[in-house]
Amino acid sequence: MTISMYQASAPRFAHTLKNLSAVLDKAQAHCDAKKIDPLVLTGARLYPDMFAFARQVQVSCDTAKGALARLAAVEIPKHEDTEKTFEELQARIAKTLEFIGSVKPAQIDGSEEKEIVLKLRGKDVSFKGQAYLLGFAWPNFYFHVATAYNILRHNGVEIGKSDFLGAS
C-alpha cells in the first residue's frame, strides 16, 4: 500500500485546475458586478517583473500537462499563449483538463525512476521521475496557482482559501 505516480499526479492536478476555473468564474462575476474591465485583472501583477495573472494561469496549465506528458513519455500538447480574457483562460484550463483526463494510470505508474530532462535557463537538468514530480512539478504548479489566486485577492476579488483547496 503506497502512493502510485498516477495518484500523486493526474487527479491532483485536475482537482486544483478545476478549483482555479471556479476562481476565474468568481473573478469574472466580480468584474461584472463592479464594472471592472476584466483585462485589468488578467493583466495584473504583484510586481512589475513578475508574470501577470493570465501568464500565471498558462504556466499552471503548462506545469500540469508538461509533468504528465514527460512522465508518460508522450508529446507535450502545444498551446499557444494567446489567452487574455477569462473566457480564453477557461478554455485553456479546459484543454489542459482534457489532456489530463486522456492520460491513463498505466502510462504514468512505474515512472519513478524514469529519466526526465528539462531545459532550465538554457541548461539541461536531469531528474528521476519521482524527484521531478515531488520536488519540481508540484511546487511549481502550486506556486503559480497560488500566485494567480494572490493576484486576484490583492485586487479585492472575494475568494477564500477554500476556493483554492476546493471540496475535499
Nearer to a copy of itself, 24 or 133 (CB): 133
CB of 107 to a copy of itself, least distance (A): 15
CB of 12 to a copy of itself, least distance (A): 6
C-beta neighbour count of 90 within 10 angstroms = 17
Please state, in angstroms and rounded to a whole number, the distance separating the CA atoms of residues 64 and 141. 7
Place of cell 514530480: 133
Please state, in angstroms and rounded to a whole number, the distance separating the CA atoms of residues 53 and 102. 27
The HSE-up count of residue 111 (CA atoms within 13 Å, CB side) is 28
What stretch of H or E contains 31?
Answer: helix 10-34
For residue 17 the three cell numbers come to 485546475
Distances (CA, A) of 76 to 23, 35, 102: 26, 38, 12
Nearer to a copy of itself, 99 or 141 (CB): 141
CB of 156 to a copy of itself, least distance (A): 7
Nearer to a copy of itself, 91 or 125 (CB): 125
CB of 83 to a copy of itself, least distance (A): 21
Q: In the complex, which residues of this chain contact a copy of itself (CB under 8 A)?
A: 1-5, 7-8, 12, 15-16, 46-47, 50, 109-110, 112-113, 125, 127, 130-131, 134-136, 138-140, 142-143, 146-147, 149-150, 153-154, 156, 161, 164-165, 168
Nearer to a copy of itself, 81 or 87 (CB): 81
CB of 87 to a copy of itself, least distance (A): 25
3 state DSSP class of 125 = strand
Nearer to a copy of itself, 28 or 56 (CB): 56
